Amino acid sequence: MNALRTLARGLRARLVVAFLLVAALSALATSALTFREARNAILKRTQDTAVNALRSQVNSQVPELAFPPGRDDLTAFTQSLDRAGQPQHWAVHVRYRNGPLVPATGGRAENGTIPAGVEKKVHAGVAAFQRVTDAGSPWLVVGLPVTYSDGSGQTTGLEVYARLPLAEDEVNVRALVQAAQSGALPAVALAVVPALLAARGVLRPVRELRRATQQITAGALDTRLKVTGRDELADLSRTFNDMAAALEENVAELRRMEANSRRFAADVSHELRTPLAAMTAVVDVLDEGAAGLDPDTAHAVRLISEETGKLARMVEDLMEISRFDAGAAALHLDEVDVAETVRKTLQARGWQDEVTADLPGGVRARLDPRRIDVVIANLVGNALKHGGAPVRVTARAEPGEDGGRLLIEVADRGAGIDPEVLPHVFDRFFKADAARVRSEGSGLGLAITLENVRLHEGTVRAANAPGGGAVFTVDLPLRTGEDTGGDDT
Amino acid sequence: MRHATRSALLALAALVTLSGCGIEPSEVVEVGRPATGVKRPGRPATEARLYFAYPGGLFGVVRPAGGEISAEEAVPLLLQGPNEAERMRGLYSDLPKIAAGKVQVTTATGQVAIRLPVDPTRLPSVGRTQLVCTAAHNAVPGDLPPDEVKVQLSGAGRTLSDQTCDNRQIFVPPGSSSPTR
């Protein structure tokens, strides 16, 4: 039903309907006008013939009529006129002065009445006719007054009326209607053909436009339309091509700029690493000998050592991010026990006393242990640094459509995260606390976490728990059912 | 949508006009001159009386004229044959086509002589009677009754004398005025 309505409102249906209406109207108008003219011509010919024939018959026969005529004379006169009027099938009635009509009218249809309007005209000395309908069929009634032959034009009081059936003309008129209908209907039906052609001509560019738009939406920015013709639709196609070209150019420019900036960051961090390694080695040596220095110098040396270490970590993080950006980060999947992996991470950082771990045994997943270690370490470290104790880590498996999911949650009991900055916590160098200019981390920890989770085709969400504190949830596919052979990259 | 409805209504109206069309009654329409031809009672006849053939005999028709018509004038009228109205009544001429200029009609008291370009004895008898009666029933000097007028037909060396018009040969429709004078 709905589809039908959509179809009926479509361009094709509207064009066809419009064409049909125009065709029907013009065909009907033409037929109606032609019909009217033809019908009037037919009737005029019949009427003129009848009136002229009757007049010439009366002119020819009335001199033989005894005058003033008696009733028998009038009867004989009408019979003679009836005989002469055989081609027209007329029936003649006459009246002398105010006498009765001879023969009397009334009764059968062929013997119908004379209309009063015609009688009135004839009384006044004017020849007249009128078409009437008697018993459902059309008749022509002609009335002629008769004047004296001396040229005075004075009426004699003799009136001749003739009634003619118009049945033959009616048959002709019906044939005309038939012809008009049988001419108009095929014309209307034929109008469907140009309507469909026109609809196709309009709809093809529209369809191509839609297809091209879909392709561009799907990412094929080099899609172009073939422009044919010079109409509005061709203009639209041309404009579409211009738009697609501009879009493609802009997107290419943006990509180039982004690639440049990433490459710059990668190059910078790479270039920084070598001098930084030398610095770290020198600073370590200085740090070891700091005990033998005077307190001010020792403090300065320790500060330099600390900051150099921080700088080295930041460069490492930058290089890690650059590897992700360059698509050079590889995933080395291994089936592991999740509880054990998490516990190892906590132990390696010395956090097992500060962090509550809720790790049911027997949950196994295929993942990259090194990267998951980084993820958990970043999240727990973040919670310990910015949230409040106790920090709690839970891991559990959930059945899902594609082989189950592994959910790892890291929750703290701190103040939580400002809802305004919640969407940005995974951004690079994002600082939740704007006032705290210096931080112990590189500012890339959560960004690296996000990239690692993404590499696993998982997601990571940050939220505030209803009871207070921030909750980070890592959602990874279990992949336990997958082939263990070969590493995913 | 309103536009479509309007168009549909228009089409429907046109359809109704087209389908509702047979022969419709009309007003009273005036149509030209009245018929004429009645002579005033008591006035002398100003008409030509011509005799045409009719299945079963002769039939006299009257044609109104401006004045009295003599036999000399009536015979050429006869030779032109019946007019349209007379033909519709079923009248015809049994005479061959003869140009009016080739016929000479002369009259004397109670007598008419008609000179034809053809042999009068070869004419059909009805055609001959047409000529004789037409000549006798129009104005002839002497004002004799028509059946006493003597008519002479001649042509191609042959002559038929003393022909008279026998009124019994003439078909008189009931109700018409007397063909005799």
Task: Mark yes or no for CB contact A127/B28 under 8 Å.
Answer: no
Q: Tens digits of per-residue pLDDT, B111-135? A: 889 988 888 888 888 888 899 988 8
Identity of the residue in A28, A72, A126 whose CB atom sits nearest the CB atom of B30: A126
For chain A, domains (ranges, CATH) are 10-188 (3.30.450.20), 221-328 (1.10.287.130), 334-477 (3.30.565.10)
Most confidently modeled range among A4-13, A133-142, A208-217, A386-395: A208-217
Please state the rounded mean pLDDT for residues B162-174: 74
Neighbouring C-beta atoms of residue A276, cutoff 10 Å: 19
Task: Mark yes or no for CB contact B29/A28 under 8 Å.
Answer: no
> What are the tokens at B51?
């005799």
| Residue B30, helix vs strand vs coil | strand
CB within 8 Å of chain B, chain A residues 180-199:
180-181
Neighbouring C-beta atoms of residue A316, cutoff 10 Å: 16
Helix (H) or strand (E) holding A463: strand A459-464
Query: Rounded to whole angstroms, how far apart are CA atoms A142 and B28?
Result: 10
Query: Rounded to whole angstroms, how far apart are CA atoms A63 and B178?
Result: 11
Identity of the residue in B22, B28, B85 whose CB atom sits nearest the CB atom of A56: B85
CB within 8 Å of chain B, chain A residues 38-57:
39, 43, 47, 51, 53-57
Output B8 or A204, whichever has higher pLDDT. Answer: A204
pTM of the model: 0.58
Instruction: Name chain B contacts of A145, Cβ cutoff 8 Å.
Output: 34-35
ipTM over 0.90: no
In the predicted structure, residue B180 carries a pLDDT above the cut 60: no
User: What's residue B177's pLDDT?
Assistant: 47
User: What's residue A5's pLDDT?
Assistant: 66
Cβ of residue A166 closer than 8 Å to a chain B Cβ: yes
| Residue A139, helix vs strand vs coil | strand
Cβ of residue A281 closer than 8 Å to a chain B Cβ: no
User: What's residue B16's pLDDT?
Assistant: 54
| A419-423 contacts at long range (C-beta below 8 A, 24 or more positions apart) | A419/A464, A422/A462, A422/A463, A422/A464
Least confident of A439-448, B25-34, B83-92: A439-448
Instruction: Name chain A contacts of B89, Cβ cutoff 8 Å.
Output: 57, 60-61, 80, 83-84
Q: Could you say which DSSP state residue B179 is in?
A: S
Cis peptide before A103 (omega within 30 of 0): yes
Cβ of residue A277 closer than 8 Å to a chain B Cβ: no
Residue matched to tokens 């990668």:
A266
Cβ of residue A73 closer than 8 Å to a chain B Cβ: yes
Cβ of residue A200 closer than 8 Å to a chain B Cβ: no
Task: Mark yes or no for CB contact A62/B37 under 8 Å.
Answer: yes
Query: Rounded to whole angstroms, how far apart are CA atoms B13 and B8?
Result: 9
CB within 8 Å of chain B, chain A residues 227-266:
none
CB within 8 Å of chain B, chain A residues 100-119:
115, 117-118
If you average pLDDT over every residue of chain A, what do you get? 84
Torsion of CA A120, A125, A127, A131, to 10 degrees: 0
User: What's residue B74's pLDDT?
Assistant: 87
Identity of the residue in A39, A115, A127 whose CB atom sits nearest the CB atom of B34: A127
Query: Rounded to whole angstroms, how far apart are CA atoms B72 and B115?
Result: 11
User: What's residue A103's pLDDT?
Assistant: 80
Alpha-carbon separation of residue A337 from A185, A343, A360, A361, A472 (angstroms):
83, 10, 10, 8, 21
User: What's residue A8's pLDDT?
Assistant: 63
What's the full length of chain B, in residues?
181
User: What's residue A252's pLDDT?
Assistant: 94
User: What's residue B160's pLDDT?
Assistant: 86
> What are the tokens at A170?
């009616």
For chains A and B, what is the number of CB pairs under 8 angstroms? Answer: 196
Query: Rounded to whole angstroms, how far apart are CA atoms A337 and A25?
Result: 83
In the predicted structure, residue A438 carries a pLDDT above the cut 90: no
Which residue, among A382, A414, A379, has the nearest Cα to A394 in the 3D structure?
A379
Phi-psi region of A404 (alpha: psi -120 to 50; beta: other; left: phi over 0): left
User: What's residue B11's pLDDT?
Assistant: 59
Calculate what percentage of chain A has a pLDDT beyond 90: 15
Q: Tens digits of per-residue pLDDT, A342-360? A: 999 999 988 888 888 888 8
Cβ of residue A123 closer than 8 Å to a chain B Cβ: no
Q: DSSP letter string over A365-431?
A: EEE-HHHHHHHHHHHHHHHHHHS-SPEEEEEEEE--TTS-EEEEEEE--SS---TTTGGGTTSTT--
Q: Could you say which DSSP state residue B72 is in?
A: H
Task: Mark yes or no for CB contact B10/A25 under 8 Å.
Answer: yes
In the predicted structure, residue A93 carries a pLDDT above the cut 50: yes
User: What chain A residue is nearest to B41 in terms of C-alpha separation?
Assistant: A67
Identity of the residue in A25, A127, A174 whose CB atom sits nearest the CB atom of B11: A25
* Best A20, A57, A59 residue to mutate vs chain B (most B CBs within 10 Å): A59
Task: Mark yes or no for CB contact B32/A127 under 8 Å.
Answer: yes
User: What chain B residue is nearest to A158 in terms of C-alpha separation?
Assistant: B38
In the predicted structure, residue B176 carries a pLDDT above the cut 60: no
| Phi, psi angle pair for A166, to nearest 5° | -105, 25
User: What's residue A174's pLDDT?
Assistant: 86
> Would strands B170-171 and B47-54 be described as parallel, antiparallel, or unpaired?
unpaired
Q: For residue A253, what pLDDT band results from cuts at 50, 70 and 90?
A: very high
User: What's residue A474's pLDDT?
Assistant: 92
In angstroms, the first-to-last Cα distance of chain B is 86
Cβ of residue A29 closer than 8 Å to a chain B Cβ: yes
Please state the rounded mean pLDDT for residues A12-18: 84
C-beta separation of B134 from B75 below 8 A: yes
In Å, how far is B10's CA from the nearest CA of chain A?
8
Least confident of A136-140, A221-225, A438-442, A462-466: A438-442
| Phi, psi angle pair for A229, to nearest 5° | 85, 180
* Best A149, A159, A182 residue to mutate vs chain B (most B CBs within 10 Å): A149
Residue type, A14: R
Least confident of A311-320, A391-400, B160-169: B160-169
Please state the rounded mean pLDDT for residues B34-40: 81
Instruction: Name chain A contacts of B90, Cβ cutoff 8 Å.
Output: 83-84
Q: DSSP letter string over A299-366?
A: HHHHHHHHHHHHHHHHHHHHHHHHHHHTT------EEEEHHHHHHHHHHHHT-TTTEEEE--TT-EEE
CA angle (A409 as vertex; A405, A414 as ends), nearest 5: 160
Calculate what percentage of chain B has a pLDDT beyond 70: 81
